[in-house]
Amino acid sequence: MSAVTTIRFFAAARAAVGQDDTTTDADTLGAALAAVPAVDAERWAVLRERCSYLVDGVTTRDLDTALTGVVLVDVMPPFAGG
């Protein structure tokens, strides 16, 4: 497993998961996101497919992105209806 990574949630993602941030030691972005307990699981499942992610400041939508050595992931839902 990788080191601990902090995941921060913004806007609609924060509302769906019910928290500002969490930590994970998952190997990939997709595994980390799938393991997040959400207050609105259905909405969170839809949002995961539509969000962009900043992985240590680099934008990606690839859920196979490795989290080895990654310190911070920001979950960025579409804004302004995007």
Q: What is the full per-residue pLDDT of the chain (82 aa) written as tens digits?
A: 447 999 999 999 999 999 999 999 999 999 999 999 999 999 999 999 999 999 999 999 999 999 999 999 999 998 755 4
CA angle 63, 11, 8 (to 5 degrees): 50
What is the distance between the alpha carbons of residues 55 and 38, in angstroms, rounded to a whole number? 21
CB 80 within 8 A of CB 14: no
DSSP secondary structure code for residue 28 in this structure: B
Under DSSP, is residue 25 helix (H, G, I), strand (E, B) or coil?
coil
How confident is the model at residue 80, as a pLDDT?
55
